[in-house]
Structure 1
């Protein structure tokens, strides 16, 4: 009760900040649309009867879906340090409205055979790429509306409740599909709803001041020259993060965590489709996976209650170590038996560990990174975050069996989590190093 009381008090303090309230509203509505969108895309890529239910098939679709995120990441950093982040949130959500509406229109008029399926997938990958851009802008803009001790609580609330909005939106999208007879409208229902929600999020972003989210010192010069300098900007940002030590180490730990989590995620898709459901019953497989995602969301929601309070006692780095140990325990639990109860409890524990660790890493990166580098820092974060997931898909194609469960695999994943925790505890820095790096030529 003490943790809940302290978190509630901090939340009330945050909600008194008008800038935070408006940015928080944009995140919640935008991510609710994400959930609806993801349900529609997951049904197409992972649970349609036409798709192969093998480890290689699921991992291949997963890698294709994530590859654009990695390509967009570097450009996001340059543009977030150049453009007003409020405009990025407004225009980006309106672009997603158009893309998602076009996907729904193709599905309603032409179905998913032949060229129609290719068009839907291309539009979907583009919309997902824009989404990563928006999430980076939300993170980079948060310190502009919150500072001091409340930043830690804001970092626990905004991504965690944002993830809750994703699950809520996904649940609505899933229920919309259940309420309709199989057919074109059944396939497009979640996307139609998502496009409307994206439009609302874009309008909500306009309530923020034009310069309220920064950057404080926008990059000047020709856009073409800035695009050409993407690689130099990323190298410059990486050098800064490494020199500061704490944010660089946090990003590396998060990438390792994400890599291991990605393998578990693909295993969960296969377990839901091929082990916990009758062969060929893809609707039951999607329902099982929805339960796994829901339990992951419950774990993530618990992170908002305990992270702000307990991480103040352990420090962000110590808290990350604790959560890596919890992640290892979740994998050992999954190694016992692939029953539905064990899978759901394991998903909840891993959701708690993953979201709590991410809150702490986000706080370290925001706290220890200067605003002039913050956009590039979170873009680099996205590159590592998504590259780790793509790498996990490659590993899963070879290491995960077609039914998703292997005792030896989950034991190895637990040992890997323990190794990362040991490195963070014994070799990780607790305080940022003093650095005085010059700005990159593009930022002058």
Structure 2
């Protein structure tokens, strides 16, 4: 009995460690509200893909719609980052969530009244992209303001990923059934109402007002300062470069999922939902893996390894011709993609100067989401010429090559990050030459 009690206490302690960021009230509110809203978001993503493919029957059109929805993030992301550093991030998030809710309701009205066309979807995707250009860097930067103890920041980022991918696990599987039951318009309507949860959570927060430095420089001057800061520092440049490559060549597999589900695996909306859910399950496992880590040290190796895992998963998915094997490969892809993205976010949020946080997070959004429209367009065009499986396989090989490239640069990048980690107390300061030698041999992770 005593041993059982001890084991139970250890288990509870383990769960408390995994969920430690939820001890912060504002973050707990955000986590609850966003968890509901993200399920609705995934309903809309799956329903939009299925609607466009049903209306057009074209893999190229899927790529074009993805391009329309993500291009604004690439074009406006850097400028948005400058404004995020200037504005109140909490108020900005309330505005973006209200606008996103109205966009979902517009989709619902058009779909439920039978007037929706691919043209309407394209324009409303552009509107959502404009909203996301400001929402993504604001959301990423706002995490720091919700977490009083900076040591819990990596855990909060990991929980954000688990929240996103938990919704990704539930949303697509539910979407497959809802599309058949209430149609795409019903999914859009549910998504619109789901935004009320995150808006309510934002309004319920109690935040300490943080004075912001008055900016006298021109926006373009601050933008140039942000570019110089990010791209002249090799570790940031390498992380953003690998993330951009993965997004450009690997992430567009999602826009080809309706083709894979219907033509390659000979399924329907349920098959599409199961494939997306399998990817979400793998990603959720990746989020738990990151939440269990006690330090940001070693994330360089993690980023390289999981980018390679994502690439291998894509190649295996492209070669699969039966649903069970495809579900396994999708779980592998989800794990690799999520951990690469979240670990990159954690490293960048850890080493960035506070005054540059909004701008760097806009570059992160541009690398993660902003390059995706070009990838979606490229994937749609390639799929029309060589087929969806070959297109996905080529993207997987590109991700593998990118991981190898960063792995070769990793020792030098660790040396450049080490002083920042020492200043933050993540690794101990070197006290003597003997300690320096010992630690440089033993500290192979950064």
Q: TM-score, normalised by structure 2?
A: 0.81
Could you report, residue by residue, the CA deviation over 1:398-443 in whole angstroms, capped at 9, with x for unpaired residues?
A: 433565223xx566444433322222222131243879xxxxxxxx
Q: 2:212 matched to which residue of 1?
A: 217
Q: 1:33 matched to which residue of 2?
A: 40
8 Å CA contact 1:244–1:432 kept in 2: the answer is no
- The equivalent position to 1:156 in structure 2, one of 155, 158, 162, is 158
C-alpha distance in 2 between matches for 1:317 and 1:237:
23
8 Å CA contact 2:136–2:362 kept in 1: the answer is no
C-alpha distance in 2 between matches for 1:434 and 1:314:
13
TM-aligned CA distance change 1:37 to 1:203, over 3 Å: same
C-alpha distance in 2 between matches for 1:36 and 1:151:
29
Could you report, residue by residue, the CA deviation over 1:206-257 in whole angstroms, capped at 9, with x for unpaired residues?
A: 1123556x5x525546xxx96xx2x443332121123443233211111111
Could you report, residue by residue, the CA deviation over 1:162-181 in whole angstroms, capped at 9, with x for unpaired residues?
A: 2322443444444333323x
Q: 1:106 matched to which residue of 2?
A: 110
Q: 1:404 matched to which residue of 2?
A: 388
Matched, 1:11 2:18: yes
8 Å CA contact 1:327–1:354 kept in 2: the answer is yes
Matched, 1:206 2:210: no
C-alpha distance in 1 between matches for 2:73 and 2:104:
17
Could you report, residue by residue, the CA deviation over 1:264-302 in whole angstroms, capped at 9, with x for unpaired residues?
A: 33443321132222xxxxxx4333222211111001100
| 1:331 match: secondary structure | helix
C-alpha distance in 2 between matches for 1:66 and 1:243:
26
8 Å CA contact 1:90–1:202 kept in 2: the answer is yes
C-alpha distance in 1 between matches for 2:341 and 2:392:
22
C-alpha distance in 2 between matches for 1:7 and 1:73:
38
TM-aligned CA distance change 1:261 to 1:211, over 3 Å: farther
Tell me how far 1:337 sits from its aligned partner: 3.4
- The equivalent position to 1:275 in structure 2, one of 243, 259, 264, is 264
Q: 2:249 matched to which residue of 1?
A: 260
Tell me how far 1:332 sits from its aligned partner: 4.1
Q: 2:31 matched to which residue of 1?
A: 24
C-alpha distance in 2 between matches for 1:60 and 1:12:
39
8 Å CA contact 1:92–1:130 kept in 2: the answer is yes
Q: How many residue pairs were aligned?
A: 408
Structure 1: gaps of 5 or more residues: 181-185, 278-283, 436-444
Matched, 1:42 2:49: yes
8 Å CA contact 1:84–1:211 kept in 2: the answer is no
Could you report, residue by residue, the CA deviation over 1:62-116 in whole angstroms, capped at 9, with x for unpaired residues?
A: 2223222323323321221122111112121112222222332233345225xxx
C-alpha distance in 2 between matches for 1:39 and 1:398:
21
8 Å CA contact 2:278–2:328 kept in 1: the answer is yes
TM-aligned CA distance change 1:175 to 1:5, over 3 Å: same
What are the residue-to-residue correspondences of 1:47-86 with 2, within 5 Å?
Answer: 47-48=53-54, 50-54=55-59, 56-86=60-90
Matched, 1:305 2:288: yes
TM-aligned CA distance change 1:211 to 1:379, over 3 Å: farther
| 2:57 match: secondary structure | coil
What are the residue-to-residue correspondences of 1:29-428 with 2, within 5 Å?
Answer: 29-45=36-52, 47-48=53-54, 50-54=55-59, 56-109=60-113, 111-112=115-116, 118-146=119-147, 147-180=149-182, 186-209=183-206, 211=208, 217-220=212-215, 229=219, 231-277=220-266, 284-309=267-292, 312=295, 315-334=298-317, 336-400=319-383, 401=385, 403-406=387-390, 412-428=394-410
C-alpha distance in 2 between matches for 1:356 and 1:205:
27
Q: TM-score, normalised by structure 1?
A: 0.82
Higher helix share: 2
Structure 2: gaps of 5 or more residues: 1-6, 421-446
